[in-house]
Chain A
Amino acid sequence: DTAVSQTPKYLVTQMGNDKSIKCEQNLGHDTMYWYKQDSKKFLKIMFSYNNKELIINETVPNRFSPKSPDKAHLNLHINSLELGDSAVYFCASSQAGLAGDHLSGELFFGEGSRLTVL
């Protein structure tokens, strides 16, 4: 029943390791996102895909690589993890991802994946 699901929910790992977070949505939305929420609770967009195509790529280290095998899935792979990567990573999806339309296009968030780098 879960609309946007992401795994794992918790991830504890050592510096220098590589890890992946997976996300799936069953809402039929065309657009999916990765957001990062730091320890001060600031929520910042990282990437957005529309129908498997990358449309937003904020200033994110290239150690972060998103992959969208189909429009219902968006995964995030992180290489060479650093202490500063510790955060909660939220996947989200929305409909009507086109600029200029006046539909709400609200985001539906997954439960978050709390990454702790030691």
Chain B
Amino acid sequence: GQNIDQPTEMTATEGAIVQINCTYQTSGFNGLFWYQQHAGEAPTFLSYNVLDGLEEKGRFSSFLSRSKGYSYLLLKELQMKDSASYLCAVRNPGGGGNKLTFGTGTQLKVEL
């Protein structure tokens, strides 16, 4: 089966750093994605990790440890517009194609 866990909600202050964790237990693994979804909008791609380590992209970084089934998304210099839901998703090689299984998302609220 597939199990992806992330906190439901987080609150942080503008200008601060926040780390959103994701743990997964899946029957196969072929990469982990982070998506951002603003209310009423489509999810948009943020990052992709398939090997262990840190991937940095501007203010956003994502880390993966395959042996621990663990990833985190790090957001630096938080801005109000970063208030959104952050979805962790694991790609499964089984079942054909490019199947992504999503976690339930972490609702991040950035406050002044």
Which residues from B are CB-within-8-Å of A97? 97-98
Q: Are A43 and B102 in contact (CB under 8 A)?
A: yes
Report the count of interface residues on B (CB-CB < 8 A). 28
Q: How many A-B residue pairs have CB under 8 A?
A: 75
Contacts A43-B87, A100-B30 hold; do A106 and B48 have CB atoms under 8 A apart? yes
Cβ of B100 under 8 Å from chain A: yes
Complex alpha-carbon distance, A8 and B50, angstroms = 36
Q: Are B42 and A110 in contact (CB under 8 A)?
A: yes
Q: Map CB proximity to A onto B42-65 as digits: 1 under 8 Å, 0 otherwise.
A: 111100101000000000000000
Q: Are A55 and B87 in contact (CB under 8 A)?
A: no
Complex alpha-carbon distance, A94 and B99, angstroms = 10
CB distance from B45 to the nearest CB of A (A): 4
Q: Which of A16-62 contact B (CB under 8 A)?
A: 31, 40-45, 48, 50, 55-56
Cβ of B104 under 8 Å from chain A: yes
Q: Which of A42, A90, A94, A112 contacts B98 (CB 8 A)?
A: A94
Which residues from A are CB-within-8-Å of B107? 41
Q: Are A105 and B31 in contact (CB under 8 A)?
A: yes
Q: Are B102 and A42 in contact (CB under 8 A)?
A: yes
CB distance from B93 to the nearest CB of A (A): 4
Report the count of interface residues on A (CB-CB < 8 A). 28
CB distance from B64 to the nearest CB of A (A): 13
Q: Are A107 and B45 in contact (CB under 8 A)?
A: yes
Q: Are A41 and B104 in contact (CB under 8 A)?
A: yes
Q: Which of B11-37 contact A (CB under 8 A)?
A: 30-31, 33, 35, 37
Cβ of B85 under 8 Å from chain A: yes
Q: Which of A51-100 contact B (CB under 8 A)?
A: 55-56, 90, 94, 96-100
Please report B residues at the A interface, Cβ cutoff 8 Å: 30-31, 33, 35, 37, 41-45, 48, 50, 85, 87, 91, 93-102, 104-105, 107
